[in-house]
Amino acid sequence: MSQAAAYVDASNLSKSRQAVSQILETVASGGCSTTGGAGKSSCGSSGGPDDMPAEIWEKVKNHPCYSEEAHHHYARMHVAVAPACNIQCNYCNRKYDCSNESRPGVVSQKLTPDQAVKKVLAVASEIPQMTVLGIAGPGDSLANPKKTFDTMRMLHEQAPDIKLCLSTNGLALPDQVDEIVKYNIDHVTITINMVDPAVGEKIYPWIFYDHKRYTGYEAAKILHERQMLGLEMLTARGVLTKINSVLIPGINDEHLIEVNREVKKRGAFLHNIMPLISEPEHGTVFGLTGQRGPTAQELKAVQDACAGGANLMRHCRQCRADAVGLLGEDRSEEFTLDKIDDIEVVYDLDRRRAYQEQVENERQAQVAAKTEALAAQAAHDGVDPGMKLLVAVATEGHGKVNQHFGHATEFQIFEVSRDEALFVGHRRVDLYCQGGYGEDEQLPSIVRAINDCHAVLVSKIGACPRDELTAAGIEPVDAYAHDFIEKAALSWFADYCERIARGDIVHRARGDAHIRQGAFSGAAEKVA
């Protein structure tokens, strides 16, 4: 018996692995795939009801983290009830009472379970498209089991339509699977950065397990075994799992391909490979020792190398532990404890359902627009079948090109070809318009953030940024304002190919781009 198997009895482990095999067979025979119908690319990007079993579709259709398509329309929130952690990561520095950083482990207010439930009900009454509640720290949810499960128990009783999620490093996971299932927590994210303890000891200085502190290789080995076992046990119980992996150049970048392969074997639904945040001002070990994060090309190369393995999530925003709203926005300042006291909380389930029906109608219109654009493009002789380009999109949500260039604090990145408009990531940027005026000194940082893109699609753009983007080889496009994103991107791509064919322009490859790390959620940072 392996060391991992020693944590549970052999018969239960055998049943768990049989269940994993059965679930993987179901998925392979008609579930999540990377080659779905028109416009479908993966469960984590734009998978739809034709790509997966009905019971899984019900779990992901309005979950913004488990469906790229849903994240344009539905909101999530995190409640910070779990301050303690049982491991130390070299990329993490938890900060409390902090409102100006946007990254995991940061919160403005720690909450009790009662306060958390009150906040959730207040947010749900004000934001009817908020469909998911997660506990993601600021420590580890399962290192704080009483606070976590007290919160989940009360929400399960008082807000039964809200999906419940938690995030964990996995060390305590095998001991808590029964509690997870008991409270109908059917989405769990596990951060897994390695499947080789020799890699893990470079990431984790120590863990605290079974009343003892472990360090080095031994610590990484215990953590790895617990993570793999916990993942298998969740899969066996029908809980959807998302794996988060932090890409650390020179440490686990190539190794993440093996991580992807191993978590797929154990039934992981999604794999989210995200860039290391290592700015020195955040005070992490990696930040203070000069460990750099990946470039945009490096991140995309690792993600692309994992294609065909576990389905990839590429729309993660590495949210704060108290984030509220659509992915890419944070409305937590609207719902501080003092402000909640002034909100009349009316948890109207019928109103929430009626609003979400409207959202679904809008979502179906987006899918129809994309399908129509793909069909038109397939019949177009002038579209180069081998060309793939990146375009940046300014959006306020609803799946549309509906944001002014100067108001964007992030751009969504789509890879466009004759056959697809595929969401592949996002780029945080400094806010260009401040106080009604454009800050021209911010433009270089914005250009660096989307330097690998051939165009940026916006609802409107001023003359100065238009000229600077054009000079940098990035085409500013406002001709598709308020169109659905995929339709707009595909239409621009067809026009771009036509202009090349006519000789109006010459196609040139773009360079690499800078991933902005740890963007501030308040005032824009000045460019050095």
What's the pLDDT tens digit per position in 377-430? Answer: 766 666 677 889 999 999 988 889 999 998 998 899 999 998 888 888 888 887
Establish if 28 belongs to a structural domain: no
As a whole number, the mean pLDDT across the chain is 82
Instruction: Mark whether 422 and 311 lie in a shared domain.
Output: no
Q: Where are the beta strands (DSSP E) in 192-285?
A: 206-209, 212-215, 240-247, 270-275
Instruction: Mark whether 307 and 424 lie in a shared domain.
Output: no
What's the pLDDT tens digit per position in 174-196? Answer: 999 999 999 999 899 999 999 99
Establish if 371 belongs to a structural domain: no
Establish if 24 belongs to a structural domain: no
In the chain, how many domains are there? 2
Predicted confidence (pLDDT) at residue 112 exceeds the cutoff of 80: yes
**48 pLDDT band (50/70/90 cuts)?**
low
Establish if 373 belongs to a structural domain: no
Closest by Cα among 145, 141, 123, 140 to 132: 123
CATH number at residue 165: 3.20.20.70
Instruction: Mark whether 319 and 448 lie in a shared domain.
Output: no
Rounded alpha-carbon distances, angstroms, from residue 468 to 233, 384, 389, 476:
54, 28, 20, 10
Predicted confidence (pLDDT) at residue 17 exceeds the cutoff of 60: no
What's the pLDDT tens digit per position in 206-226? Answer: 999 999 999 999 999 999 999
Instruction: Mark whether 408 and 316 lie in a shared domain.
Output: no
What is the structure's pLDDT at 379?
A: 65
Instruction: Mark whether 278 and 418 lie in a shared domain.
Output: no
What's the pLDDT tens digit per position in 286-323? Answer: 988 999 999 988 998 999 999 888 888 877 776 667 77
Establish if 38 belongs to a structural domain: no
Q: Which distant-in-sequence residues (6+ apart) come within 8 Å of 364 by Cβ? A: none
Range from 36-45, 70-79, 239-248 carrying the lowest mean pLDDT: 36-45
Instruction: Mark whether 63 and 162 lie in a shared domain.
Output: yes
Residue 58: domain span: 54-341
DSSP tally for the chain: helices H, then strands E: 15, 18
Final residue before a domain boundary, out of 311, 341, 371: 341
Instruction: Mark whether 452 and 303 lie in a shared domain.
Output: no
503: left (phi over 0), alpha (psi -120 to 50) or beta: left
Establish if 4 belongs to a structural domain: no
Which residues face 389 on adjacent strands?
A: 416
CATH number at residue 388: 3.30.420.130
Establish if 512 belongs to a structural domain: no
Instruction: Mark whether 398 and 299 lie in a shared domain.
Output: no
What is the structure's pLDDT at 29?
A: 35
Mean pLDDT of 135-160: 92
What is the structure's pLDDT at 527?
A: 33
Mean pLDDT of 269-279: 89
Query: Do the bridges between strand 324-325 and strand 187-191 make them parallel or antiparallel, or are there none, so unpaired?
Result: unpaired
What's the pLDDT tens digit per position in 316-346? Answer: 776 667 777 777 667 777 777 878 777 777 7
